[in-house]
Structure 1
Amino acid sequence: MKKRPENSVCLDLMVDYLEQLMKEDTYAADIAKLTFSLTSCEKGMTLQIIGFNDKLNLLLTVIMDHINTFESRVSKEKFNAIKELTKKNYFNTFTKASKLVRDLRLSLLQDCYIGAQMRHSIIDSIDLEALTSFSKAFKSKLYIQGLVQGNISKSDALEVFKISSAISDNMTSIPKETCCMEIPKGEKRMRMKGVLPSDNNTFVTNYYQYGPGDLKMHALFELLCMVMDEPVFDILRTKEQLGYFVFSVLRNTQGVLGIEVTVNSQENKYKVDFVEERIEAFLKEFYNKEISDMDDLKFAEYLKTMIKKKKTADVTLEEEMNRNWKEIISRDYLFERNKLQASLYENNQITLSDLKEIVKQMFLDVSTVKKLSVQVIGVDKKIEEESLDELSLLNKKHAIELQIPSQNNELFIQNLSYYKTTLIAYPVTHISK
């Protein structure tokens, strides 16, 4: 149901409204040291309850009753108040350059992605009737995934699922999954100005796409990220001092693997083009100094570190729960992933030659590189915050307006929506073997 932007906004409003309602009716749960969270996410609504097992079902029953009778509990006055808070949350999200650069990246990469900026632009059109209609439709056709973990018997765990599923008589089959778009070989850039005229933060995210992965490739990319982690920080942050927030990370977008390098700088210190150039220079230096001359002894040390990491047991129940829940929501269901990846490292399934080749393929070889540079530019000269008309900015409908520079403009995407129609979607990939 979340394919339409209006549905995404309605789900956010429903979750925000339910949270307010339940704060009034779950005070006893706080006294009993039970905690819960209800959140809206890309795939739907997530409910998490933590506490002593003998009281969990009581709290779950109260929460499910609120969801089940939601339409009868709402009022226009409270709806308008919740709507204003949700609208402000959207605004506070996309006005942060770090969030905006992520939204832009995913708006292009995912075949369906509704960012905070788009949600903010349509929330004023959502009324109470639209919310209650959505709520009924949402509950009429549910697909429920669950996980119960801890000091609880099988029969009590089954009772949890029974209470949760009683909300709907019509469970749906597995919903259509989101796909990742293929980035063409070569380089494309997306550039947008930051929203706030008082913010000089510039974010450059260079994303290098590999393609659909498997367990072995995922293990290779995790190893690569570990090898990159210290050099990217040492060179781009410590030595070149481009900014305090500098990192590289493995991205798994619906089973499609890629490497991201992100630098947060200040536009009045370093221009966006300079920062982008330094990222590229770093990747060449990284290969020449860290990868090309790496010997078997050094590589074995990295493998040893990865094996130790994969064999380290979860310290807390929450860590174990989060790891298992990640497998469930991704629908990979590979609960022994760490054990299997450790085995790949131990049995020399990941080689030094593999590492050298993947770095050349991903970053250096112009015939294989698939690069997307997403850039959010801060202001050169800051406007003092006290002189801003915050209410005007809050109520303005902010569209995605991409910037096209006069130089190298053939690299830049002019219209995100149109460009996306020219891309091919990868098939849904589950990294489970």
Structure 2
Amino acid sequence: MKVINLDTIPNSLQSEFLKSIFADALAIETYDAYLAGLGWSLSKSSAGFTLTCHGYSDRLPDLALKLLKELTSPSFLEERHFETAKDKTIRGLSSFFESRRADSLAIYYRNLLLNYKGNGVEENLEIARAITLRDIEKHHAMIWADNDLSLEVLYTGNVSEKQARSFFSDATDVIDSTRALVTQKEAVEDNIADSWASGPLERRLPAGEDIELHFESKNPKEENGAVVVTYQSQHEGFKGKSLSSKETLERSACVRLISKIIREPCFNELRTKQQLGYIVSSFYDMSYSTNETPLTTSIDSLTVYVLSRKVEPKDVAARIDDFLLNFRSKLEDMPSKEIQDYAESLAKELTKPIRKLGTEASNQFGKIRRYAPETLYADNDSSLEDILLIMLRWWLQHCTS
């Protein structure tokens, strides 16, 4: 029997438990708010917890503050909610490899390679089986006692600046009072800064460093093979006018445009003509690599994936390579008018108004989190080391937008 020491492993899964327990505990209590048209969710990422509240009511700030108070209090950490979360997590992890389609597993392994901070399914399963309610209570206390904990608030919609600032002040008071209370009641360990491990979100591979992963599916019912190929641009992606050059914008735009141009020919060649499989897809993707300081590198990628029952994965990969090599000559001979038509179509897609306020808020908040420190200090005359220190201090302080 392998002994899992929860004090020496990353705390991502424990935070996932917290999220699941909180959702289960507050489901009934917030049902009336749901009937009134108010919704909420709690999510977890490398940036921390994100509590999202939405709806058209002047009571929305009250709901958000109530949920924040509930989240900072350990009262929702009851045995029945913990057992529900543990059972759900273990069942999901146990059946992960045996129930997923081949392309889903291929994308999982691709992400495990590139997102190199975090655990795989097997390790998370062992951790989940070993976790106790006391471990989660301890993790909860560590989070709220962390002196470097920062609060970020994006309050958007039909709201005044005064209302936004008032809400941020109330939310800050909740965090500060919780921190004071927890540090008094709990014997917090010295390594409390590790209660949330920030760091690289995705690895950008060095030029020429091709990596191939091969595996057999554990799903006994899966008759398909899958190939997922990701081509990362070796040039830094565009982050914004104040952070990137015009040349960077042009290179990112080229990757986007090539991804659009290639989409239909890729499907026609590999799916229609060669009939490799019933799913053939190619798309542009963008990810971010973040250093220990909040300095973010944008990564542009082209991804092609094929789900096939008839052709071996290694042969599918070879045909994808052949298609891309042959497409290069077609791209070189493509009339400028046709390329311009693709560019205009892409521009229309990118400038299409966002219809949902929640989607717009999520997009804007993501940009604020990634680029705010760099934007604020991009014109600073200090040395690089000074700027990085300033950015780090800024990130650790409370901020609102």
* TM-score (normalised: structure 1): 0.69
CA deviation vs aligned residue, 1:162-219 (integer Å, no higher than 9, x gap) = 34333433699x9853152424515331111222222223221112222241321222
Q: Could you say which residue in structure 1 is the equivalent of 2:317? A: 276
Report the RMSD for the aligned CA atoms in angstroms: 2.9
Consecutive unaligned residues in structure 1, runs of 5 or more: 336-433
Number of residue pairs the alignment of both structures matches: 329
Check if 1:311 corresponds to 2:311.
Answer: no
Q: What is the alpha-carbon distance in structure 2 between the residues aligned to residue 307 and residue 3 of structure 1?
A: 50
Q: Which secondary structure does the structure 2 equivalent of 1:187 belong to?
A: coil
- Provide the residue aligned with 1:250 in structure 2: 284
**Counterpart in 2 of 1:57?**
61
Task: Give the aligned partner of residue 205 of structure 1.
Answer: 228
C-alpha distance after superposition, 1:232-267 (max 9, x if no partner):
12222222222232222223331223221111223x
Equivalent residue letter for 2:300: L
Q: Please name the residue that 1:285 is paired with.
A: 326
User: 1:87 and 1:5, CA in 2 relative to 1: closer, same or farther beyond 3 A?
Assistant: farther
2:269 match: 235
| Residue correspondence of structure 1 range 4-403 to structure 2 within 5 A | 5-70=9-74, 72-94=75-97, 95-96=99-100, 97-141=102-146, 142-169=149-176, 176-178=198-200, 180-183=203-206, 185=208, 187-215=210-238, 216=249, 217-254=251-288, 255-266=298-309, 269-289=310-330, 291-331=331-371
Distance in structure 2 (CA, Å) of the matches to 1:87 and 1:175: 23
Residue 386 of structure 1 corresponds to: none
Question: 1: distance between equivalents of 2:373 and 2:340?
Answer: 30
Q: Is the partner of 2:150 in helix, strand or coil? A: coil
Task: Confirm or deny: 8 A CA contact 2:21 2:76 kept in the other structure.
Answer: no
What is the deviation of 1:24? 2.0
Q: Secondary structure at the match of 2:212?
A: strand
The whole-number CA distance in structure 2 between the counterparts of 1:325 and 1:234 is 38
CA distance in 1, matches of 2:373, 2:126: 37
Contact 1:111 1:181 in 2 (8 A): no
2:286 aligned counterpart, secondary structure: strand
How much does 1:330 deviate?
Answer: 3.2
Structure 1 residues 212 and 114, CA gap change in structure 2 (3 angstroms): farther
Higher relative contact order (CA 8 A, sep 6+): 1
Shift of 1:75: 2.9
CA separation of 1:149/1:311 partners in 2, compared to 1, >3 Å: closer, same or farther?
same
1:165 counterpart SS class: helix
Task: Report the TM-score, using the length of structure 2 for normalisation.
Answer: 0.74
CA separation of 1:299 and 1:78: change in aligned 2, threshold 3 A: closer
Distance of 1:198 and 1:8 partners within structure 2: 31
Alpha-carbon spacing, 1:104–1:163, altered in 2? closer, same or farther (3 Å) = farther
Which deviates further from its counterpart, 312-321 or 325-334?
Answer: 325-334
Unmatched tracts of structure 2, length 5 or more: 1-5, 181-192, 239-248, 289-297, 376-401
Structure 2 residue matching 1:264: 3-state secondary structure: strand
